A and B are shown apart, each in its own frame.
Chain A
């Protein structure tokens, strides 16, 4: 699929194939659990004792290690239920638990919004057919599962990411650090930029190494929103690109005083003698509120300008990546050609900005 030797700009056919590949690879990023008669046997507010279901605990821990997150949609008393989860020692596994008297469809919406993932990446587990039907009726994309039928869950392809990387193992903790950051941010009354300055961010851009390839592939598959083209590349393709003299494959990472966000960005540039083309520029949605996408683009602008070449970028619109279009356009890219759904943009370098003072930008060779 990737032409390493010849200089054709990406054909729309290639883009279509990439898009199709992407759809098949759609996988679950978060499981939303009911509590009564799902996570535990019994009804918390009626029975004297509820018993934790051991196979559910096994599923929670196994998926957590695979980088799949968990949350809760339960009609219960929030305080009582959280205390019970704590007593069972499993409270830390759940992000943004929705324990209230609202509809579960509304809870699922809230969780997807808080975690910042699409509903097609959510699974919902409940013992009550009514609840499953209500969620499925409102959100057709959500995978609804009967809690009595979980035996094969760990083997299902939707719950088996192709690679388990260091970033996937740490994913929940990275989200928890984010929750802490967001809490501080919500309490901060000054301008956004001043808040960003309090984070002591370090943004690192480095050539993709062999040990980064699994994460690089994972990023191309998982990232929909902050993704300029949505092209996905296999481990093997990325390994070839990494070593290709005609390409730059850059991986970026971010950390701040709350800890690391891990490897959160990938950029692929195809270099021809007179023109460089950015084939892919993506950032994990976890760093959306940090505004680092623009920093990456301006780094590419500076590199290309220094190399004395024209800089172009491909862009393929999907229904979620408008922010990347805005970022490209605000960095001075203008559409010059269109091949089917692939827009080819060019930058005249008139809008280059130095990196912002609140980020320590580190470029590794």
Chain B
């Protein structure tokens, strides 16, 4: 895993503690994704990676797995550069 993936994994591990989250594992299959986790996840991506997540990016599929979040970050960072 690269640095972005590791940071995402570390963040998500706070919510799914006793579970070794895999890069392509669907977090929605692991338990209830409550509104709090949803909000904190979006805020984390924006703050940690300095990107702005637009309303159109809030698609569920962008946030399902470590890899999909990392791809979103890469896309956003690429767009900003």
Question: What separation, in Å, do the CA atoms of A334 and B62 have in the docked complex?
Answer: 13
B81 on interface, CB distance cutoff 8 Å: no
Given A193-B31, A354-B32, does the pair A294, B15 have CB atoms closer than 8 Å? Answer: no
| A356–B32 touching, CB < 8 Å | yes
Contact assessment for A325 and B17 in the assembled complex, using a CB-CB cutoff below 8 Å: no
Residues of A within 8 A of B6 (CB): none
Of the candidates A290, A351, A356, the one whose C-beta lies within 8 Å of that of B60 is: A351
Instruction: Kindly count the residue-residue contacts between A and B in the assembled complex, taking CB atoms under 8 Å apart.
Output: 66
Among A190, A291, A351, the most chain B Cβ lie within 10 Å of the Cβ of A291
Cβ < 8 Å to A, chain B residues 30-44: 31-39, 42
Instruction: Name the contact of B35 in the complex, choosing from A190, A194, A323, A357 (C-beta under 8 A).
Output: A323
Interface string of B42-54 (1 = CB under 8 A from A): 1000000000000
Taking a contact as CB atoms under 8 Å apart, the answer to whether B31 and A294 are in contact is: no
Check if B58 is an interface residue, CB within 8 A of chain A: yes
Within 8 A of B (CB), among A276-327: 288-295, 317, 323, 325-327
- The size bracket of the interface on B is 20 to 34
Q: Are A295's CB and B34's CB within 8 A?
A: yes
Please name all residues of chain B whose beta carbon is closer than 8 Å to the beta carbon of A192 when the two chains form the complex: 14-15, 36-37
Tell me the bound Cα distance from A291 to B58 in angstroms.
Answer: 18
- Which A209-265 residues have a C-beta within 8 angstroms of B? none
- In the complex, the chain B residue whose C-beta lies closest to that of A315 is B55
B59 on the A face (CB < 8 A): yes
B residues neighboring A (CB under 8 Å) = 14-17, 28, 31-39, 42, 55, 58-60, 63
A-B contacts, 16 listed (Cβ < 8 Å)? A191-B14, A192-B36, A192-B37, A288-B36, A291-B37, A292-B34, A294-B34, A326-B35, A326-B42, A326-B58, A327-B39, A329-B60, A330-B63, A334-B59, A355-B32, A356-B31
Which A residues are closer than 8 A to B by beta carbons?
190-194, 288-295, 317, 323, 325-327, 329-330, 332, 334, 351, 353-357
- 5 closest A-B pairs by CB: A291-B34, A356-B32, A291-B36, A329-B58, A293-B35
